[in-house]
Amino acid sequence: MTLAVPPGASGPTPERSDGCRPAEVTDSSVDQAVDRLHVEYAGRLRPQLVVRVVRDCRKDLGGSPVGALPELVERLARYRLDRHIA
């Protein structure tokens, strides 16, 4: 079980219920995933695509506990990137 992820463990909370959400989602969960996937898919996918997919994943996963985001984002992005290659 991958629990005990403290809700505010990484970075600021990007989404707010008051609606003032940044136009472009950038937080450490995106940066970390981009860094790792960038290396992992080097030579197979364009870096811009990796960044775009990760950002989309982050957006789609909005509302998830912040502490769990890095894992969720990376996992979903990897799944989508793999499908892209296949």
Binding site for other proteins (CB under 8 A): 1-7, 60-61, 63-65, 67-68, 72, 75-76, 79-80
Closer residue to other proteins, CB minimum distance, 35 or 60: 60
Closer residue to other proteins, CB minimum distance, 38 or 80: 80
Closer residue to other proteins, CB minimum distance, 6 or 47: 6
**Is the CB of residue 34 less than 8 Å from the CB of residue 56?**
no
**Is the CB of residue 32 less than 8 Å from the CB of residue 49?**
no
Round to whole Å and give the CA distance between 30 and 51: 8
